[in-house]
């Protein structure tokens, strides 16, 4: 997966990626779960000649499809156009789209692909493969010419010398066609590689917190729900841990937000180094994090939480000339048979986190302790 090799703010990174996507020579669309465009790159707008009124917030994917259909771009009969657009919209909405070739009335051929991110976003790419179609036609023409020449040779009364010259020219044409075919194959492979790299980057944007590299809120909740359902089928336990950096606002006020960003990244690094490969670390927002621990009993989960607290407290963070030490308050809760969603367990862990904050910070409090006092 690609790595963010910069300490720039997430907004700067997102703007740079948007500008980069505007430079690629194929269309890119990012739809939100409500099937509304979050992003259209310049090539997509040009490819379909989108008017200004469709380049405003609130536009739907169906409106984009209708615009293309109303301008007779699809190679579909007028009687079948409405059903064709319904089918395309429904497939993207349901996530059943496999790589599809779209033939246009102006002779272009577009390779369309849809990828669904963990939060329900759709990533659409439109690659113009007309050149590959033309290369295939050239190869077919060369093949047809070779067949015609072969027939003519069988019935020709030309001299052996003329036939040899004719065969030499045929071989030269075949070599040229083979070279064009190899070049077309190379270009197609390069375009496919670039598209795959772009899809990885877009998928990372949809699931990873750009600042810290931890899972974002949507991804950790999605995978946490999956783990909750899995451990139920195996009869295992699952623990959820909520962490909050103590006095984080004071760090930002004293050292500035770049220092605060470095503290967030450092804490994520410490958390990741202390958990198992099967555990999930996510940033819920601000200075608050969640850790999902599947297949673990309550006593071990509390020891793991204490290890996280100690690791953060014992690690000095250097920013410029400053050496900073931070602590975290932690709440722990075990999943229960009555839980239908991972958010229910997280809510109990959040209550324990609130109790840890209220009793002095830099400590671990379990949900059971809070409920026993209540």
Tokens of 55: 């380049």
* Structural contact between residues 31 and 124, judged by C-beta atoms closer than 8 angstroms: yes
25: CB partners within 8 A, 6+ apart: 43, 128
Task: Give the model's pLDDT for residue 134.
Answer: 63
Handedness of CA 116, 122, 123, 127 (dihedral sign): positive
Q: What percent of the chain has pLDDT over 70?
A: 86
Q: How many whole angstroms separate alpha carbon 126 and alpha carbon 41? A: 11
Sorting pLDDT into bands at 50, 70 and 90, what band is 1? very low
The domains found in the chain, sorted by start residue, are 10-131+183-207 (3.30.450.20), 217-373 (3.30.70.270)
- pLDDT for residue 96 is more than 90: no
Task: Give the model's pLDDT for residue 197.
Answer: 62
Residues 40-59 pLDDT 10s: 999 999 989 899 999 999 89
DSSP 78-126: HHHHHHHHHHHHHHHHHT-PPPEEEEBTTS-EEEEEEEE-TTS-EEEEE
287 as an active site residue: the answer is yes
* 57-61, 260-264, 290-294, 309-313: the lowest-pLDDT one: 57-61
Q: Summarize the confidence of residues 341-347 as an average pLDDT.
A: 97
Q: How many whole angstroms separate alpha carbon 365 and alpha carbon 329? A: 8
* Structural contact between residues 123 and 104, judged by C-beta atoms closer than 8 angstroms: no
- pLDDT for residue 361 is more than 70: yes
Task: Give the model's pLDDT for residue 176.
Answer: 84
* 206-210, 304-308, 330-334: the lowest-pLDDT one: 206-210
- pLDDT for residue 194 is more than 80: no
Eight-class DSSP state of 360: T
Higher confidence at residue 169 or residue 306? 306
Integer CA distances (angstroms), 158 to 34, 146, 148, 169, 291, in order: 71, 17, 16, 15, 84
Q: Which of 87, 115, 129 lies closest to 207 in space, CA to CA?
A: 115
Residues 2-42 pLDDT 10s: 555 677 776 777 787 778 788 888 989 999 999 899 999 99
- pLDDT for residue 331 is more than 80: yes
* 97-111, 226-240, 255-269: the lowest-pLDDT one: 97-111
Task: Give the model's pLDDT for residue 30.
Answer: 92
Higher confidence at residue 194 or residue 216? 216
Task: Give the model's pLDDT for residue 201.
Answer: 54
Task: Give the model's pLDDT for residue 347.
Answer: 97
Helix locations, 208-280, DSSP H: 217-234, 248-255, 257-274
Residues 117-161 pLDDT 10s: 888 888 999 998 988 766 666 666 656 655 665 556 565 556 667
Q: Summarize the confidence of residues 190-207 as an average pLDDT.
A: 66
Task: Give the model's pLDDT for residue 95.
Answer: 77
Cβ atoms < 10 Å from Cβ of 3: 7
* Structural contact between residues 227 and 287, judged by C-beta atoms closer than 8 angstroms: no
* Element holding 317 (H helix, E strand): strand 316-319
Sorting pLDDT into bands at 50, 70 and 90, what band is 98? confident
Helix count and strand count (H, E) for the chain? 12, 12
Q: Which of 278, 300, 299 lies closest to 291 in space, CA to CA?
A: 278
Exactly one of 158, 287, 306, 371 is catalytic; which is it? Answer: 287
Task: Give the model's pLDDT for residue 152.
Answer: 60
Task: Give the model's pLDDT for residue 178.
Answer: 82
Higher confidence at residue 5 or residue 318? 318
Task: Give the model's pLDDT for residue 136.
Answer: 65
Side by side, the strands of the sheet bearing 280-285 are 280-285, 288-294, 238-245, 328-334, 364-366
Q: Summarize the confidence of residues 157-167 as an average pLDDT.
A: 68
């Amino acid at each position: 997966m690609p790595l963010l090799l910069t300490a720039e703010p997430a907004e700067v990174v997102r703007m740079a990626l948007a500008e980069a996507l505007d430079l690629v020579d194929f269309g890119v669309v990012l739809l939100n779960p409500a099937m509304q465009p979050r992003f259209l790159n310049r090539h997509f707008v040009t490819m379909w000649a989108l008017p200004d009124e469709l380049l405003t917030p609130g536009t739907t994917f169906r409106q984009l499809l209708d615009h293309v259909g109303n301008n007779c771009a699809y190679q579909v009969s007028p009687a079948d156009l409405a059903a064709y657009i319904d089918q395309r919209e429904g497939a993207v909405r349901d996530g059943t789209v496999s790589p599809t070739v779209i033939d246009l009335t102006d002779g272009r051929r577009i390779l369309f692909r849809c990828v669904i991110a963990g939060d329900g976003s759709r990533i659409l790419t439109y690659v113009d493969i007309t050149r590959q179609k033309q290369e295939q036609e050239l190869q077919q023409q060369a093949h047809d010419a070779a067949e015609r020449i072969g027939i003519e040779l069988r019935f020709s009364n030309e001299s052996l010398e003329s036939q040899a010259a004719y065969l030499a020219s045929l071989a030269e044409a075949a070599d040229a066609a083979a070279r064009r075919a190899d070049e077309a194959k190379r270009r197609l492979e390069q375009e496919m590689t670039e598209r795959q790299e772009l899809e990885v980057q877009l998928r990372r944007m949809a699931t990873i917190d750009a600042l810290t590299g931890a899972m974002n809120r949507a991804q950790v909740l999605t995978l946490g729900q999956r783990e909750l359902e899995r451990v139920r089928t195996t009869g295992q336990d699952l623990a959820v841990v909520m962490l909050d950096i103590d006095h984080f606002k004071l760090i930002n006020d004293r050292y500035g937000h770049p220092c605060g960003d470095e503290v967030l990244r450092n804490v994520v690094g410490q958390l990741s180094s202390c958990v198992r490969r099967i555990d999930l670390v996510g940033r819920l927002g601000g200075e608050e994090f969640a850790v999902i621990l599947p297949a673990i009993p309550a006593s071990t989960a509390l020891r793991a939480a204490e290890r996280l607290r100690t690791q953060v407290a014992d690690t000095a963070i250097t920013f410029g000339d400053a050496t900073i030490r931070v602590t975290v308050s932690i709440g722990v809760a075990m999943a229960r048979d009555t839980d239908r969603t991972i958010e229910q367990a997280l809510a109990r862990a959040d209550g324990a986190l609130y109790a840890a904050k209220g009793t002095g910070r830099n400590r671990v409090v379990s949900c059971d302790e809070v409920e026993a006092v209540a």
